[in-house]
Amino acid sequence: MTTADDVRTAVSLAAATLRTALGRDWRVPAAGLTWTCWETVEHVADDLFAYAAQVASENTPPEGYVPFGWRRARPDGPALTVFAEDGATAEGLVQVLEASGGLLAAVVTVAPPERRAFHPYGVSDPGGFAAMGVVETLVHLHDVAEALGLPWAPPEDLCDRALRRLFREAPETTGRWATLLWATGRGDLPGQDRRTEWKWDGRP
């Protein structure tokens, strides 16, 4: 089962990796995306915040997200509620990521396990939203790391727990990080067709 500690681990590893590249150009496109590396990190922070909001609310809309406002900085950029202030440094953006991850971990820790909240990939529980946060962090860090030339290989057990929670149809005997990349359309697995479309199943 994915836990708040898994969220903390994923975000901590991501932040440490990003801090090795503070002097690089984060405005280059992230691998496989139309977003820049900067926008991709903002997207992860925004997702972590949004998942925390869903789990924190006792009266989450049954068919939608808590209605925070959002904006796009440019037409092809991600829609964001959480983003770094104008003029922020890369270190500042990493702090935004860490803060959002901390919020999700804290809410998952205290939310009643029977709580349910909307997500378009299935109404889910606190553990499901924790797993979503882990997957978003791990796979989008892959996109950024590929673009910036950074090593990125998260722990196999962390990937395994996220796979078991959200991708129950995934092969169980293959490398867990490689399988998570395959499950999210980012890699190949022997004997499996490459995914061009994908989504997880967040239902408990």
CATH number at residue 114: 1.20.120.450
Instruction: Say if residues 119 and 132 touch (Cβ distance below 8 Å).
Output: yes
d(C-alpha 117, C-alpha 62), whole Å: 7
Which tokens go with 158?
């962390």
Average pLDDT, the chain: 97
16 occurs within a structural domain: yes
Tally of structural domains, the chain: 1
Which tokens go with 112?
């009643």
d(C-alpha 117, C-alpha 36), whole Å: 30
pLDDT score for 141:
98
199 occurs within a structural domain: no
> Can you tell me the mean pLDDT for 90-112?
98
Helices (H), ranges, 2-155 = 4-18, 37-56, 90-110, 126-148
Which tokens go with 92?
């500042």
Q: Is residue 24 predicted with pLDDT exceeding 90?
A: yes
Task: Give residue 80's domain range.
Answer: 4-183
> Can you tell me the mean pLDDT for 110-136?
97
188 occurs within a structural domain: no
* Residue range 146-203, pLDDT digits in tens: 999 999 999 999 999 999 999 999 999 999 999 999 999 999 999 899 999 999 999 9
d(C-alpha 75, C-alpha 53), whole Å: 25
d(C-alpha 151, C-alpha 172), whole Å: 25
